[in-house]
Amino acid sequence: MTANIKTMINRKNTIILISFLFILFFKYIPAPTGLSIAGMQLVGIFIGILLLWLTISIDWPSLLCLAALAFVPGLKMSTILTGSFGNSTFAFLMFTFMCTYSLSKTPFVRRCAVAFVTSQIAKKGPWHFVILFFASVIFIGCFMSPTVLFVIYLPIIEEIYSVLKLEKGNKIASMLMIGLVICCGISSGMTPIAHVFSLMAMGYYQTATKLTISYASYMGFAIPVGLISAGLMVVMFRFILNPDMSIIRGLNLDSLKEEFKPMERAEKLILLIFAIIIVLWVAPGLIKPIFPTLANYVDSFGTALPPLLGVVALSIITDKGKPLMNFGEAMSKGVTWVSLIMCASTLALGSAITNTDIGLTKFLSASISPVTATLIPIALVLLFTVWAALQTNLSSNMVTVTVVTAIAIPITLSTKGAVSTPAVVSIIGMMAAYAFATPPAMPCVAIAGGTGWTNTIELMKYGFTQMFMSVLVTVFIGYPIAVALMG
């Protein structure tokens, strides 16, 4: 065993030991006035698990979190399991992952991408092509996991490089790869469809307040923010990166169309089922002013029932003797179980933190309110937006959502409406998806940096620039829209 391996093992064991000390013994530290022993124990669990999430892994520490919560006075294992694996958010994500996996197995996603980059508008000029390429990523990314989307687009972008005869180190090649990464992040923050982070934030808000944030109101502010942020990205590339675009003039990618056959029955059926699912999610918020009774009825389905019905339909309906979805394959390959397990544990942790009997949120609110009371409302919004944006670009997205919402909810609620809690929570969920600056932020960042078409320094340079532009758009444009829609 080499010295480096021994050092890594010792470091890992040291972190695990420190984490267990927090989890097991933090409750014995004298609690400050206003905080119970159970509250101290919960803080210790939070710190210990957070340390493991940030440095070791997110899988088994998530299970450890559930086990540790069972020993907190006032919490029962049955309640913890109900609030984690039994939570509607967990079910929603599992069923949605299965449906989107079925969609990703069809040529539809690649068909859409090729349609954008081979359109007549894309042929008008170099920047028309670039904008249409990024627009295709934004459009498809609104209902697909960013990592899956990036993997699907890799062969498409490689084909573009081949047609243009680009070499590694070329500014255009770097721009397209960086833009692909950024657009994958932006698009995943624009809707809660198949995206974990916004759903987690909305789930925490519902747990804490017993109120819900509708899909329509979330998308009503997140889509404009995403589109403006993407527009600023193009401006950044045009005037800061400023590549020589002459090589793209006359680019013809029509050869990409040759691989596609006419849309078959199975693809049409899968697309139809997925479209119906999206309609059931979005329709209540759109039709409520006109058809309130129908809107309330559809809204009563919740978020998990539409994709559940979709899974059933995809499993029952057959084409050429085979079901549209192979259930076992979708469960094993389509569902990102590690992310789901962490989501389950953070939902349980969020429920424990907001438990009124434990009183941690009340203590936090009372402790931090004197400091935040001196801040004007927009400064508080800026604080949480910047915090979420920075942390998600330096660490785990799901950890970001958990930590920032845990602090933001009690503080914003204590402002008694001066700062909109649902708007801030939605912003945190959205900003957690805007992860495109460093390799720990998202797998696609690490993959992009390793392709050779760009590098980590370039990704950080333009990723952080994009992050700060998106923060400004979110605070000064997105937040007012969110307040108007959510109150």
465 class by beta-carbon count within 10 Å (0-12 exposed, 13-18 middle, 19+ buried): middle
Which candidate, 58, 31, 63, 57, places its Cα nearest to that of 44? 31
- In the chain, count H helices and then E strands: 23, 2
Pair 142, 227: CB distance under 8 Å: no
Pair 40, 352: CB distance under 8 Å: no
Q: How confident is the model at residue 260 (pLDDT cuts 50, 70, 90)?
A: confident
pLDDT, tens digit, 9 for 90 and up, residues 345-369:
878 887 887 787 888 877 877 777 6
Mean pLDDT of the chain: 88
Q: Is the pLDDT of residue 138 over 60?
A: yes
CA 89 vs CA 92, 318, 365: distances in Å: 5, 29, 26
Pair 423, 482: CB distance under 8 Å: yes
Helix (H) / strand (E) containing 472: helix 456-473
**And the tokens for 59?**
């899988």
Q: Please, what is the Cα angle at 187 between 184 and 192, to 5 degrees? A: 125
Rg for the chain, CA atoms, rounded:
23
Q: Is 323 helix (H, G, I), strand (E, B) or coil?
A: strand
Task: Return the percent helix, strand and coil in the chain, to nearest 5.
Answer: 75, 0, 25
Q: How confident is the model at residue 226 (pLDDT cuts 50, 70, 90)?
A: very high
Mark out the alpha helices in 300-420 (DSSP H runs).
Answer: 305-316, 327-329, 337-353, 360-372, 377-392, 397-414
DSSP code at position 318: E
Q: Among 126-130, 331-335, 347-351, 361-365, which stretch is predicted with the lowest mean pLDDT?
A: 361-365
| Mean pLDDT computed over 42-69 | 89
| Mean pLDDT computed over 202-229 | 92
| Mean pLDDT computed over 290-316 | 90
Amino acid at 253: L
| Count of residues in the chain | 487
Q: Among 124-138, 226-240, 288-302, which stretch is predicted with the lowest mean pLDDT?
A: 288-302
pLDDT, tens digit, 9 for 90 and up, residues 407-437:
898 889 888 889 999 999 999 999 999 999 9
pLDDT, tens digit, 9 for 90 and up, residues 272-289:
998 999 888 878 877 888
Q: Is the pLDDT of residue 123 over 80?
A: yes
Furthest CA-CA distance within the chain: 72
Pair 435, 195: CB distance under 8 Å: no
- pLDDT score recorded for residue 204: 86
- pLDDT score recorded for residue 266: 93
Contacts of 10 (CB under 8 A, 6+ apart): none
- pLDDT score recorded for residue 1: 55
Q: What are phi and psi of 361, to 5 degrees?
A: -65, -35
| Mean pLDDT computed over 127-140 | 93
- pLDDT score recorded for residue 110: 80
Q: Distance between CA 74 and CA 213 in Å, rounded?
A: 28
Q: Distance between CA 286 and CA 385 in Å, rounded?
A: 27
Give the pairing of strands 322-323 and 318-319: antiparallel
